[in-house]
Every structure is written in structure tokens, then in C-alpha cells.
Amino acid sequence: MNAYQELKLQLNSLYDEREAAGIASLVMEHLTGFNRAERLLHKHQPLTTQQQGTWQNHLQKLLQHEPVQYLLGEAWFAGMSFLVNQHVLIPRPETEELVEWVEATLQRVFTVNKTPTVLDIGTGSGCIPVAIKKKYKEVIVGAIDISAEALEIAKENAAKNGADINFKRTDILNEAEWQHLERYDIIVSNPPYIRQSEAAVMSDHVLNHEPSLALFVPDEDPLLFYRKIADFSLQHLKQGGYVFFEINEALGDATMKMLASKGFKNLELKKDLQEKDRMIKGTL
């Protein structure tokens, strides 16, 4: 049995067949430098001794639920490669959908005579601002995060992908730190939104490896970040500006009601490709 088939077979104990095949393919491409088609052409070429040792090491870590993106140090988002480690969340497909919604609004609303400004709150790996800046180079994009380690990764990703982003370390929950930020046409955020009680049904590869700081909120105050970002937006969103949020699928109605109570208008709750309530847009 070849190395790919053996890896896929071992991973079938943790993942469904399709996901196991995808992870095995990523590992083999990273290990050999060959894509799937090239591996077929070289299917009788054995792994070197060094590659065999790396393969075994990767397998053991994968069987301990380490996400393949952390193992390889790379994740793909919006057609770009992003560096990732345990200090940042692994970019998700649903966040790509949020970015596409922001980009569609930028294209429709803002003219060439105006330079739009965008702020991403809780940027993590920097995937949101980098994707926006790469699509619309004329947009001025800023991003903040409380984690210095996350910001270092985000800065590396911006440089790696040729995106000029203004990063600042900021705790959005601390209102005293808001004063050094400007006013923006669009504020976007994928903040922590998983309630602590939901951890019981989450997979080990998320719970044991991804940063809890970026995942969880208290059960008694699940809208903590949305409320704070809404208050920040009341002060820092330009008239007619937009807010965009990725949300907990179970809290769509509650989030919409909170935003409406603070004066946001034209609120829209949107489902992701999995038909889950996943994002909200609103204006002032």
C-alpha cells in the first residue's frame, strides 16, 4: 500500500472518507512537492528515508487531532496561502462568504471618486483584511486584535500576499483604547461567538488546538463582542456606513434585535452555503 493510501486509511478513524482523503492529499503534496496528477506519474517512486520519518511524525500528530493546517503551517483562503499556528484560528469557508458580501457591497456602493476605509476587528490570521485589500487595492484597510502573537502572523500574511494593512494591537472590549482608531465606511468582524456550553459537542481538533481566546464567550453574555462592536460602530462608523458580522447560527435573531435596539437599520441576516444563519449586515 502506498503512503497516501495508508495515511487515508489511518485517518478514516477520525474523519469521514472525503475529509480523510483531502487531508492525506495535502500532507503528501507538502511532503513530496508533487500535486495529485504528478503523484500518479511518480506512484512507483518510494519515499526517501527522511520523507518516511516526516510522514510518520505527521501521522502521529494527525491521530492526536492536530489540524492539518497547523501541522503544515498553512491554510488557504480566498485563493491565497496564509500562515497559521496555534495563536490564530484556521480560516473557514463561511468567512470567505462574509468577505464576498463585503466585497460586493464595496463594488456596488463606493465610487472611484471616494476611497473607502475598512476596519476588521479581531483579525486573527489577517485573512479578512488581506482578502479585501487584494480584491480592492484602492481601499484603505485596517485591522486590530488583542493578541500580539496573532498580529505577528497577520503582518506576515499581509507581507506574504502583498497587502498593505494598518495593524494595531487593540482590546475592543476596553473602550479607553477606542480613541486611537479612526472612522470607517465599513466595520467587519468575526469575533468569538461560541458559548462555553457548546464546547461539549465540539471536535477535539478544534478544542485542543485552536485558541480559546478567539472562540469562546460566556454563556451568560454570548453577545458580549457584538454589543461592544456595535457601540464602537456608533462612534466610529461614518454616516451611511456598514457593519458586517459573522455570527453564531443559534443567535441570529438575538443579534439582529440587539443591533436594531441600538439604531442600526436595513439589517439583513444571511445564510451560508450550509443553510445556517451565519452573517449579518446593517447600516447607520
∠ CA(179), CA(128), CA(189), 5° rounding?
Answer: 50
pLDDT of residue 1 exceeding 60, the answer is no
Question: Can you give the residue ranges of every domain in the chain?
Answer: 3-64, 79-283
Q: Domain 79-283 is of which CATH architecture?
A: 3-Layer(aba) Sandwich (3.40)
List own/partner pairs for 50-55 with CB under 8 A and 24 or more apart: 52/3, 55/3, 55/7, 55/27, 55/31
Q: Which of 233, 254, 157, 139 is nearest to 188 (CA)?
A: 233
Q: What is the pLDDT of residues 208-266, one digit of tens each?
A: 888 888 889 888 999 999 999 999 999 999 999 999 999 999 999 999 999 999 999 99
Q: Which pLDDT band holds residue 113 (cuts at 50, 70, 90)? A: low
- What does pLDDT average to over the chain? 93
C-alpha cell at 191: 469575533
CA distance 42 to 36: 10
Q: What is the pLDDT of residues 76-92, one digit of tens each?
A: 999 999 999 999 999 99
- How high is the pLDDT of residue 43? 76
- How high is the pLDDT of residue 231? 98
Task: For residue 22, count CB atoms less than 10 angstroms from its CB and return exposed for 0-12, middle for 13-18, buried for 19 or more.
Answer: middle
Q: What is the pLDDT of residues 160-176, one digit of tens each?
A: 999 999 999 999 999 99
Question: What's the predicted TM-score (pTM) here?
Answer: 0.92
Q: Which of 200, 188, 176, 208 is nearest to 62 (CA)?
A: 208
Arithmetic mean of pLDDT, 62-69: 94
CA distance 62 to 156: 26
Residue 239 phi, psi (nearest 5): -55, 130
